[in-house]
Structures are given as structure tokens and as C-alpha cells.
Amino acid sequence: MDEKKYQSKYKRVGQAYDRKDAREKVTGQAVFTYDMELPGMLHARCLLSPYARARIVSIDTSKAKALPGVRAVLCGEDSDILVGLYMQDKRVLAKGETRYHGDVVAAIAADDEETAERAISLLDVVYEPLQPVHDVDEALRAEILVHDDINELKHYVGVFFPQKDSNIASWNKSKKGDLDMAFEEADLVVENEFSLPAVAHAPMETHVAIVQADPYSNKVRIWSSAQSPFAIRQIMADSFGISESDVEVHIPYVGGGFGGKAGIHLEPLATLLSRAAGGLPVKVRATREQEFNQLPTRAGMRGRIKTGVTKEGKLTGVRAVYDWDSGAYADYGVNVGKTAVYSGIGPYKVDNASIDSKTIYTNKVFSTAYRGFGHLETHWSIERQMDILSQHLQIDPYEFRMMNLLKPGDQTMSGEVITESNGSPSDCLTAVVKEIGWTGRKTEEERQREWKTGKVRGKGFAMLQKAPAMPANTSTSVIMQMNGDGHVKLMIGAVDFGQGAITALAQIAAQELDIPIEHIEISAEIDTRANPYDWNTVASKLIFMGGNAVIKASREMLRKMKEIAAQALRTDPENLLHANGEVYHRHSPERRLTYKQIALGYMYPNGTGIGGPLISSGSSIADGLTNLHPETGQGYPAAVWTFGAHAIEIEVDVETGYVDVLKVASAFDIGQVINEKLVYGQICGGVVQGLGSALLEGYKFNSDEQLMNPSFTDNKIPTMKDIPGKIVPIYIENPQHNGPYGARGVGEHPMISVPSAVGNAVYDALGINFHVLPLSPEAIALGIASGKKSILCTDVDCLPGRH
């Protein structure tokens, strides 16, 4: 960690408290859904499709059903329920046709694991393998439809646009200005293609749900390793045709999410099994292999960017086409694709631009949200393109970016005018470029000299931006109640799955109420019966929206306290101040009451009480957002932008292709640090996760789109051996006018643009432009061996002489 300590101007906000959930987590006491067992609980096993696409000719379940101990056997014929957050396209059990290798063909609940396992082997399924849709180009030809019912699929109308008789789950568009003119006026027009593969979230706790469906009513009780209890409740109610109050969702500790546990996953299947088993609780847990090949991934993406620029380096126009390989389903994937149309040109002022973003069905494992979704992918394209443009122009890439970055008065892609309150992209870039010691690109001569030593160093940087990707009316709420001892119980319906939100929210409450953070009682465990509504724990929105709700609730609490105290102290509430857990008279401070004295109502010496238990609430809804215009993409999608930049120094071994990351400097304009220790944790975690996408990770499929690397053995994620030599976090604090204490979200942002910065550093080192991820040792070594200056494909098939 950097030695210089962050200094806060506040007593509690900005202080580096230990996380509230830490003690339980270092002693083995924290209970995850994986650890849970309920009385009478059954165990489930699933049979997954052995083909990317096949017709289910017949399923004989008789032998499985006859096995003693089997309580429920389900297949597609037993349920027509479709689920999904934005697009209701996901069948709980495949019927008629399977759509990917992880589609659930049958599921069994039994008294114990052994019986469930044996019963699965007694299922007799006959398949007729069908030609799958392999990739986005094949999908766009629409000769085979992954969903032949696409025209009827229920979806979020006006926000997502499924195309008739196609494999396009949503085609989102934006455009402004005159692009033809822009390219004509440009001195240089450069067009490039960039791509990246699907990758796994790889949370350490795999997806797991336990459901108990009351056989005598519609009641469904769910315990799940999930990010979004209220989204599960709403989707369950909608898909099962029951009321939201029939669905009870409990979230114990969650072993990592990264977006992969947003939306809805194993809960509907466990519900169907519990119902079929007479209401006994059923646990469904993904194995690590299923976590890779059955549960969703980050979509693979291809971006085609055409940019016009003057010889001085001013951008005149950008045309971007993003094609997302969403796999078999796009229930959440469409929202990933949507982000591209308002964020997909990066934090730059471009008056003439158009973006087409298509979320496309294929017969691969399906996709969902993944930390900073849509942004790591589009920024890989845009920030590599910016670097390549600066090479053509022979302008320093720092100067080139500074010339085009958004500044107050400029418009974003969707037409939103940026003000000082949005934070400063250029402050971030300047800070990281300085930290990394950037003095301009390496010359070819320097490169050649270093090359002889076997190791070449390079520096690169990249910008990033992200605003929460969420419906225009997204909201959250908190309830606050004072305990008898003057401590405060704070409840919110959003989940802390490791990001540290409950600690940061407690700090805001403690700051407002002026009591020690230890006096704020807040639990990471959520129960929809008690905790108030929150839309979804995603999008780095929790500190921003939840923080504002906490401030509102705290101020209402203080108002109520002062009303009671005023009566007791025989004065007006406006004469009262509060500090250190006491309410006191501003002119005669000896007239004072402790919070404890009024917590449950004030009691006069004769026993008479006034007031009653102190309780308050606070709500927060996204302010002034609109749906985007379906054709032009103009509107207000961004509750709060957070801008940032990474600068990275690497050393490439030209023999092995191994990229050693020496230093990463990361700056984010987060407005206000709430807890330096937690922000640093998000930065280290996000940067290393980004390095995984940059250097290591990527799905590999066989010719039938079966995942070939569904394990940690073959699908490497970073280990301690892969950490950079140094990560320098830089916090820029231009306050957000409507953020809590001026703060913005930063949970996802550290991951965005890490691959772009690495790619740019690789160019600086080698003089080779890579257009595809990951930049694995073999990709780099093969790239060097190819003798080419642009590497569009790093598969062995693309080696010289193969075509």
C-alpha cells in the first residue's frame, strides 16, 4: 500500500474502519448458503444437455422415479415457466430443444446425494443432435433460430428491441450529428476490429439455492447465494404467477458475485423441485464445472470501430458496431449490450457518432452482467483504437486523449451535458500518466536495443467511464431504528457480498448521527420480510443511492429525536444540536439528553412517557433519468458517472511472450473517499481481475460449442503469483453534487480498461498492436513470431501458413 495515508475532513466518513463482517469471516463463523441445511432437506442433481443444440426425442423417467428415496423427477414437459430480468427467455428446464451444453434436461430431488446421483444415471434420454449456431456471424444470417419463439418473448418494452425472426435479442442504437460529413472532413479515417472471448466470474462460492415451497399455499421460501433478493422476489412472482409477498428471500453471506449472481439463477429450479416433492426443502448447488459451463459468463464481444480525426488530433466522428455473443439466453445480457450505446465511445467529446449494439443468441453458454459490464469490453475497443490513432497521427497518446476528453459543457454520447459536478476525466489521466513517469513512446531504436536483452519494457494507459446501468426509475430504501441503548439498527435490502457496503453505509449513518460506528448495527444477511426494498445490488450504485437513503433516514431520525428532546427540555427543536450521542441546547448546553434517554421514548421522573421508539426511513430514486430514444439513443441514462484512468508498466519476455506487470497506477474521480481501506480493496481486486481478462482468461469451445476448459486447472484465474509489482491508487475528489458527501461509486470501475492499458503497453514494448484478448504468453509469442504489426487472431489456426 502507498505509505501516504488518506486524510479525511470528516470524523467518520473517510476513515479506514475495519469491515464489520470481518470478525465472523476470519473465525469460520460466517454462514453461506453452501453451509446451510434445513430439516428434511433434499438434494438435487441435474442432467445437462450433452449437445449445444438437440431435439429431445424422448425422456423415460420411469426407472429413476421407481428408485426408493427419489422424491421428484422433473423435465421440460413438467413446466413451461420462463424466467428473466429484462428478457423472459430462459426456460427452467429445456423442452423440445436444448440450446447449449448446460441446458437442464432433467432434475431430480432425492433424500440424499447418492440416490439423486443414481437416479440421474437411470434417466433414459434420446436426443437428435441438431446443427448449432456457432458464432455471431452465423447467428446474424438467421438460418437457424436459437429461439424460434423470439417474436413472442416477453421483455422490457421500449428499452430492449428483439428483432423479428432473428437471433438478435436486442438491437440498441444511438446516433448524433452527421457522420458522413465527419468522415469527409477528417484528415484520417481508421477502421479496426477488436474482440475478446467469454470469461467466467469465478466466485469462490458457486451458485447455490435452497427452496422450500409450501404445499398448502403459494408461499415460497428461498435461501440463495445471490446479489439481488428483491429482483428474485419480483421475477419469481412474475414467472410463477404469485404475489411478491408469497416469495420470501433470505440472503446469508455470499461468497462473491461480480454480477454473476445478479438476476435469477437456480432458485426457480429448486422451487419446482420442492413443489414436486411435496414442499420439502431442496438444495441445488453448482459444482465448479457447472459454474463454468452451466451458469452464465461474460459475453464474448466483437467491436468494429471507424474513427475520423483531423491531423491535429481532433476527433470528428466515430462509428462503432458491437456484436455480443450472448449464448443461449440474454435475460440479463441485453442490458450489457445496451450500455454500449451510451458509453461505447469512451469519455470523449465526439459530435458525430453512431453506435449499433446487438445482443445476439448463439448455442453457447449464456451471458450476464460481469463487473463493469459492457464497459471493459467496449473500452478494450475504444482505448486500443485511440492508441492506434495516435500512432498514425504521430501524436503523443496522452496529448491526443487530453485534446478530446470530455470537459464541462461537452455532451456525452446520449446528449447529456457534462458539468464540473460529474468529475474530471483529465484529472485522472494526468495523475496516472505522471505516476507512471510517462515521457512519450519508445522509439524503434530503443525497442531494438532492449530487444537484444530478451526483455522489453513498455508503458500504456487507458481511460474509463461508467455510470450505473439500470432502469431509469431504480430505487432503494433504508429503515433505521434506535435500540434501547442508543445504538442504531440500520436495514437495507441490498447485499454486501464482499464489497464492504455495510461498513461504508454504517460510516455514513455514524457520521450523520455522530455516534461511534460500533453503535451502528447492520447485517450483511438479508430477509425480504424485514429489510426494505432495493432494486438490485449491481452497477456500483449502492454507496451512491443507499448512502443518500441513509442520510435521509438519519436526518429524519434526528428530527424526531429533537422533537421529543425539545418537549423534555422545554424548548423548541430548532434550539437543539446533537453531538457524541447527545442532544443539547445550543445556548445552555447543560440542558441535554443522551440518545439512550429518548431511544424508546422519553420518561419523565414520575414515569410518564412521551415519544415512543425512534424509527425512521429514507428512500432514494434515480433522479431525472429517462429511457433512451430507440433510434437516436438520446436521453439521460446515467445517475452518476465515475471517470478514471489506468497507467501500466510492463516487461515482456520476447522469448516466452510472458508479460510481467511491474506497476499499475489507477485514478478514479470518486468525489469523496468513504473508507480508504475498502476503496483500496476494490482497486486491488478490480485491477487484478482486469489483469485476468487481459492476460489469462478466456473460454475455449470445441466444434459443438462445448466448453473445453471448465475447471481452475484449465481456466486459470490470477493467483498471488500474478499480482503486479505495485498498485498505486489515486483518489480524485471532485464532489458529485447529489452524491452522499459528494461520493460516487467505484466498485466495478477498477476492472474496466485494465486490458486496454495492457494492450497499449504491449504496443509500446513490441510495436505490435494486438486486437484480441487475452494477451497470454502464447498469444504474444505467436504474435511476435508472425512478424505482423497487427494481430487480429491469436488462435493457433491463425498462425502463418495455416490458411
Indicate the residue among 105 and 768 with the shorter CB distance to other proteins.
105
- Contacting residue, 76, 132, 255, 259, with other proteins by CB under 8 A: 255
Specify the stretch interacting with other proteins by CB under 8 A; choose among 18-26, 314-322, 350-358, 414-422: 18-26
Q: What distance in Å separates the CA atoms of residue 345 and residue 359, rounded to the nearest whole number?
A: 18
Q: Are 262 and 251 in contact (CB under 8 A)?
A: no
- Contacting residue, 161, 223, 253, 366, with other proteins by CB under 8 A: 253
- State the minimum distance, in angstroms, from the CB of residue 792 to other proteins: 30
Cell of 42: 433434499
Tell me how far CA of residue 227 lies from CA of 213, 296, 524, 618, in angstroms: 21, 14, 11, 21
Indicate the residue among 205 and 377 with the shorter CB distance to other proteins.
205
- State the minimum distance, in angstroms, from the CB of residue 14 to other proteins: 15
- State the minimum distance, in angstroms, from the CB of residue 230 to other proteins: 20
125 binds other proteins (CB under 8 A): yes
**Phi, psi (rounded to 5 degrees) for 751:** -80, -30
123 binds other proteins (CB under 8 A): yes
Indicate the residue among 27 and 453 with the shorter CB distance to other proteins.
27
- State the minimum distance, in angstroms, from the CB of residue 41 to other proteins: 11
- Contacting residue, 1, 181, 610, 785, with other proteins by CB under 8 A: 1
Residues with Cβ < 8 Å from 620, sequence gap 6 or more? 475, 476, 477, 545, 546, 548, 549, 552
Which residue type occupies 470? M
- Contacting residue, 85, 480, 517, 688, with other proteins by CB under 8 A: 688
- State the minimum distance, in angstroms, from the CB of residue 369 to other proteins: 15
∠684-686-691 over CA atoms, to 5°?
A: 95
Specify the stretch interacting with other proteins by CB under 8 A; choose among 30-38, 145-153, 572-580, 788-796: 30-38
Residues with Cβ < 8 Å from 434, sequence gap 6 or more? none
Tell me how far CA of residue 707 lies from CA of 395, 638, 778, in angstroms: 43, 36, 20
Tell which positions 721-750 bind other proteins, by CB under 8 A.
721, 723, 727
607's torsion region: left (phi>0), alpha (psi -120 to 50) or beta?
left
689 binds other proteins (CB under 8 A): yes
* Residue that is written with C-alpha cell 467511464 in the block: 465
566's torsion region: left (phi>0), alpha (psi -120 to 50) or beta?
alpha
User: Reduced to 3 states, what is the DSSP secondary structure of residue 765?
Assistant: helix
Q: What distance in Å separates the CA atoms of residue 298 and residue 309, rounded to the nearest whole number?
A: 32
Which residue type occupies 488? V
- Contacting residue, 458, 486, 686, 783, with other proteins by CB under 8 A: 686
Q: What is the DSSP letter of 545?
A: I
Site size with other proteins, rule: CB under 8 A: 75
Indicate the residue among 52 and 551 with the shorter CB distance to other proteins.
52
267 binds other proteins (CB under 8 A): no
Indicate the residue among 102 and 303 with the shorter CB distance to other proteins.
102
Other CB atoms within 10 A of residue 789 CB = 12
- State the minimum distance, in angstroms, from the CB of residue 290 to other proteins: 7
Indicate the residue among 307 and 503 with the shorter CB distance to other proteins.
503
**97-98: strand order across its sheet:** 97-98, 54-60, 124-129
Tell which positions 277-306 bind other proteins, by CB under 8 A.
285, 287-290
Alpha helices in 440-545 (DSSP H): 444-451, 501-513
439 binds other proteins (CB under 8 A): no
Which residue type occupies 69? G
Q: Are 430 and 436 in contact (CB under 8 A)?
A: no
681 binds other proteins (CB under 8 A): yes
Q: Are 70 and 108 in contact (CB under 8 A)?
A: yes
Which residue type occupies 244? E
- State the minimum distance, in angstroms, from the CB of residue 455 to other proteins: 19
- Contacting residue, 80, 96, 121, 579, with other proteins by CB under 8 A: 121
Indicate the residue among 257 and 372 with the shorter CB distance to other proteins.
257
48 binds other proteins (CB under 8 A): yes
8 binds other proteins (CB under 8 A): no
- State the minimum distance, in angstroms, from the CB of residue 730 to other proteins: 16
Which residue type occupies 455? K
- State the minimum distance, in angstroms, from the CB of residue 525 to other proteins: 13
661 binds other proteins (CB under 8 A): no
Residues with Cβ < 8 Å from 272, sequence gap 6 or more? 74, 78, 79, 81, 92, 93, 107
- State the minimum distance, in angstroms, from the CB of residue 40 to other proteins: 16
Tell which positions 187-206 bind other proteins, by CB under 8 A.
201-206
Residues with Cβ < 8 Å from 667, sequence gap 6 or more? 427, 428, 429, 431, 432, 435, 644, 645, 729, 730, 731, 732
Give the active site residue among 184, 446, 748, 778.
748
Tell me how far CA of residue 570 lies from CA of 371, 562, 566, 600, in angstroms: 54, 11, 6, 19
Half-sphere exposure of 443 (CA within 13 A, CB side): 3
- Contacting residue, 256, 415, 635, 777, with other proteins by CB under 8 A: 256
Specify the stretch interacting with other proteins by CB under 8 A; choose among 180-188, 315-323, 474-482, 686-694: 686-694
Specify the stretch interacting with other proteins by CB under 8 A; choose among 622-630, 679-687, 758-766, 775-783: 679-687
55 binds other proteins (CB under 8 A): no
42 binds other proteins (CB under 8 A): no
Active site residue 525: no
Specify the stretch interacting with other proteins by CB under 8 A; choose among 384-392, 561-569, 627-635, 685-693: 685-693
Other CB atoms within 10 A of residue 158 CB = 10
Which residue type occupies 609? G
Indicate the residue among 292 and 741 with the shorter CB distance to other proteins.
292
Tell which positions 460-499 bind other proteins, by CB under 8 A.
497-499
Positions annotated as catalytic residues are 748
